[in-house]
Amino acid sequence: MSLLDTTRGFLTPELISAATKGLGLSDESPTSVRAAAESSVPTLLAGMAQVASSEGGAAQLFRMITERDYEGLLGRAGPLRAEQAEELSHHGQSMIARLFGERASGMIELISRSSGAEQRCSTAMLGLVAPIVACVLGREVRSRGLTARGLADLLSHQKQAFKDDPRAPAGLPGFLAPSIAASAPFVAAARERPRDAVSSAPPRMATSSTPLSSREGLLRNTQTREWLLPTLLAAAVLGGLWAFVRERRLDRAAAEPTHEAPIAAAPREDLAQPAAPPPQAEPPRAEAPTAAAPSDAPPSAPEIVEQLKITAGEMTLPGGKVLSVDEHGSEAEIARYLDAGAADGPKRFSMEGINFQFGTTELTDASRPKLDALATILDAYPSARVRIEGHTDSMGGAEGNQSLSLARAEAVRDELAARQIAPDRIEVAGMGADQPVAPNDTAGGRAQNRRIDVTVLSR
């Protein structure tokens, strides 16, 4: 079965109904909501195939679909609840912003035009479909043992089917084309918005009913006429200025050779009189650079060596252990902080990717690699002491949240102890909902508040 069919198979009437309720889309036409969801599938898959066409993009996509337990979504018993739909959509919107940046707003516009749904609805449904697509791709990666390159090949083989799908938005091939001119209307609209590409703010775009292909042709012709003549004139002016300045510099150099004598006298003299170089001045000049180059190189080399330099996603820790990390992830930040060795006060790090099954202390499978990395770092710095802090959102009672947050912190400590980190190096604390990092009145804010922090107490 194709990736399109597999993904679309999860868009059951029950899921669409729960999403409509949980995402506050009850005022939208049910037909438009479903059309937005179905149009999101080929749009996302085609976009991911385009991202994966580069080596860096394939690695980013591979990390994204393997860093969380999306498989749990496919295997969850019972229908999707409304509150789950809200959280999934918010997480999916974050995924889309990471993958597509400013171009995400253009994708949302395409879906809105194709489905007839409001942009708010298209944004929410695109976000909901993103984790489902990640589930499907993650399952393919695990069942086939794919690498990032293998995932890119899988998407590449089906890329044309994504574009040709009957539910794909009109204009999708042009929007995804490498040429920027083909997607100029959407890129321009995206640049007018804030960097959060999945904002619900209405796009600043024309709503003309002119077919996209015609609009693109008109756009290209208009752009060509508008910029060709000014560009040619500017090039001519700049060329003339360059020639004039160059000529003046040469005239000045010929008229005033002594002004630059300390630096350039020797080269000019050599060029002007190759047959009669100064008999005594040249040997010292030739020897000085030759002697200085080797003597200066060794002292400067250690100054540019970074002990924890990340190369191809790998960091070499003290003792020679090699750790695969995201250069900007929490694990890399903790390792750099421990390696600095300064004596400043405690420092807190939020551990992205350490998550629990809903309402329990059971860690998700996707959390295991994060715990492995944290244990490896602590093992490389045996004098470091840390505090594991559990946090919850504001849902539920204060006493229950306090108890749950402490139990989760203890679960992380036990996992680290099982990885040979001495328990006496690890403190635990349950913060409940007392230290939010985001408002608790949205699903996205609550998701950020449910977290594990690691505070380095000493190094």
Q: pLDDT of 325-340, one tens digit each? A: 787 888 888 998 888 8
Q: 211: pLDDT confidence band, cut at 50, 70 and 90? A: very low
Contact (Cβ atoms closer than 8 angstroms) between residue 366 and residue 68: yes
Amino acid at 191: R
Give residue 360's pLDDT: 82
pLDDT (0 to 100) of residue 313? 75
Distance of alpha carbon 366 from its chain centroid, rounded?
Answer: 18
What is the pTM (predicted TM-score) of this model? 0.44
Domain 310-458: give its CATH superfamily: OmpA-like domain (3.30.1330.60)
| Averaged pLDDT score across all residues of the chain | 74
If one compares 303 and 100, the residue with the highest pLDDT of the two is 100
pLDDT cut 90: percent of the chain above it: 27
Q: What percent of the chain has pLDDT over 70?
A: 67
Q: Please say if the pLDDT value at position 395 is more than 90.
A: no
The burial of 54, by beta-carbon neighbours within 10 Å (0-12 exposed, 13-18 middle, 19 or more buried), is given as exposed
Q: Quick one: pLDDT at residue 260?
A: 40
Q: Helix axis angle, 30-51 relative to 55-66, nearest 10°?
A: 130
Average pLDDT over every residue of 308-312: 70
In which residue are the tokens 């909501």 written? 33
Outline which parts of the chain fall under CATH 3.30.1330.60: 310-458
Quick one: tokens of 286? 């030739």
What is the average per-residue pLDDT within 426-442? 91
What is the pLDDT averaged over residues 142-169? 91
The two tokens of residue 386 are: 């840390």
Reported confidence tier of residue 19, pLDDT bands at 50, 70, 90? confident
Beta strands in 11-107 (DSSP E): none
In whole angstroms, give the CA distance from residue 450 to residue 76.
20
- Residue 441, classed as helix, strand or coil, is coil
Average pLDDT for 10-30: 87
Query: What pLDDT, in 10s, does the model give residues 39-73?
Result: 999 999 999 999 999 988 898 899 888 877 776 65
For 89-128, the pLDDT digits (tens) are 888 888 888 888 878 888 898 999 888 999 889 999 999 9
pLDDT value of position 297: 40
Q: What's the confidence (pLDDT) of residue 456?
A: 93
Of residues 347 and 240, the one with the higher pLDDT is 347
If you count them, how many residues does the chain have?
459
Burial (CB < 10 A; 0-12, 13-18, 19+), residue 452, is buried
